[in-house]
Structure 1
Amino acid sequence: MEILDIKVRKIEPGDLFYIAEIEEKVFGLDAFPFYYLFELYEKCRDFFLVADYKGLTIGYIVSCIENQSLHIHSVAVIEGFRGKGIGRMLLEETIKLAKSMGIEKILLEVSTQNTVAIALYEKFGFKRVGMRTNYYADGSDAYIYMLDLKENNSQHVR
C-alpha cells in the first residue's frame, strides 16, 4: 500500500456510519455512541476528517469547537492500516484547519497507556496539562494534552 493512495478529506454524507463502526471496533466499551457522534457532526461537521483509501474509510478524526478551543474527541485508524502515518496525516490536517480558522488552542484526552498516541501528540508540540482519573470504562486514567497554536508555528512533523 502506498501512502499516496490515502486522501484526508472532509466528511461526506454516509461517512458517519463508517466512523461509528470504526469507533466501536477500536474503542469497544469506550466508544462514543452513534447519537453522540451525530450531535457532534450537527455542531461541528467542518472538523470531521476522514482518511480515505480507494473509497474505503480507514480512519477519522472528530473535533469540535468548545470554549474557543478545538477539542479533539476521537482519532482512530482501522487495524491493518496503523503505523503508516495516517494518524499523523489526520492530526496535521486538523491543525492546519484550526490555524486557518484562527483557533489558538487544541485540547484532547488520551489514555495514559496509549504510548503511541502520546508520542505522536508530543511530536506535534502538545503538552500534558492535566489528568482525568477514572476516565475510561475500565477505570483507567486519561492525560489532557493541549497544543498552543500561538506558540507552535510548525506546519508538520516528520
Structure 2
Amino acid sequence: MKKPHPRKYPHSLTLDGSSVELRLMTAADGPALSEFIGRLPVHDLLFVRRNISHPRVIAAWLAALGERITSLVAVAEGEIVGCSAVVTDALSWSPHVGDLRILVKPSWRGCGLGRVLTEESFAQALALDLEKLTVQMTVDQSAAIAVFEDLGFRPESVLRNHVKDHDGKTYDLALLSLEVSQLYLCSRARGMSSALNE
C-alpha cells in the first residue's frame, strides 16, 4: 500500500454552504477547545476514555500534541465546531494501535463534518504507520456506530456498565476497530481517495 504524503494544513472546505477550515490543533486552542467541550451534551463525552470536560485533562491533551496525540480542529466563523484526535502510546504493548476520537458540535451534525474528520484521521493513521484504529462509544449511540461501520469499522466487544455519567447512570460501551491496511481499499470503495492520497 502506498504511504500517503503528509497532509497539509490548514485547508478549507464547504459543507452545506458554510466554509470550514481544518487545521492542526495547537496549545493556543485551549480556551476555544474548553468552550467547545463545555457546550457539548455530557453524553457525547462518553466517547472518550477520560473526562475531557476537566481542565487538567484538556491541559494534558494539549501538552501531548505532536507526541502521543495528533489532533485537528474544524473552525467556522472563528469557532471550533468539531475536532478529532488519534491517540497512541509508544510505551504500551499496542504501539501500533491508534485510538480515534471525533467530536462535533450538535448543530453541525448531519452535514458530513464528522465523516470528514474521520477520513482526515485515516490519513493521519497511515502517515503514523499505525496498523489498527479503535473507536468506542456507548451502545445507545446507534447513529454514530452506523457511521463508523459504514466507514469499515467492525464491532469487537461490548463492555457492560463500563462508563458512568455525572448522574451515576452506567452505560454499556461498544468497541469497534479497523485494520489500517484496509484503509486504501475502503478509500477506493467509498470515494475517499482525496482524504487518503493527497
TM-score, normalization: structure 1?
0.86
State the Cα distance separating 1:122 from its structure 2 match: 0.6
Instruction: Tell me the residue number matched to 1:92.
Output: 119
Moved more, 114-123 or 147-156: 147-156
Task: Note the alpha carbon deviations across 1:17-55, whole angstroms, 9 max, x for none.
Answer: 332333333242754222123223322445111111132
| Residue from 1, 21, 24 that aligns with 1:7 | 21
| Matches of 1:122 and 1:96, distance apart in 2 | 18
State the Cα distance separating 1:131 from its structure 2 match: 1.6
- Bigger CA radius of gyration: 2
Instruction: Tell me the residue number matched to 2:58.
Output: 37
Instruction: Tell me the residue number matched to 2:181.
Output: 150
Instruction: Tell me the residue number matched to 1:17.
Output: 31
Instruction: Tell me the residue number matched to 2:194.
Output: none
Asked whether the equivalents of residues 107 and 146 of structure 1 are also in contact (C-alpha less than 8 Å), the reply is yes
| Matches of 1:64 and 1:23, distance apart in 2 | 18
- What secondary structure sits across from 1:145 in the alignment? strand
Find runs of 4+ consecutive structure 1 residues off by over 3 angstroms. Answer: none
Moved more, 20-29 or 83-92: 20-29
Q: Output aligned runs, 1:69-148, within 5 Å.
A: 69-72=97-100, 74-137=101-164, 138-148=169-179
Amino acid in the other structure paired with 1:101? L
Amino acid in the other structure paired with 2:172? D
> Which stretches in structure 1 are left out of the alignment for 5+ residues?
none
Asked whether the equivalents of residues 23 and 74 of structure 2 are also in contact (C-alpha less than 8 Å), the reply is yes
Kindly report the root-mean-square deviation, in angstroms, between the aligned alpha carbons of the 2 structures.
2.1
Asked whether the equivalents of residues 41 and 48 of structure 1 are also in contact (C-alpha less than 8 Å), the reply is no
Asked whether the equivalents of residues 160 and 171 of structure 2 are also in contact (C-alpha less than 8 Å), the reply is yes
For these two proteins, the number of residue pairs brought into alignment is: 156
| Matches of 2:34 and 2:139, distance apart in 1 | 23
TM-score, normalization: structure 2?
0.70
Instruction: Tell me the residue number matched to 2:82.
Output: 59
| Matches of 2:147 and 2:123, distance apart in 1 | 16
- What secondary structure sits across from 1:150 in the alignment? helix
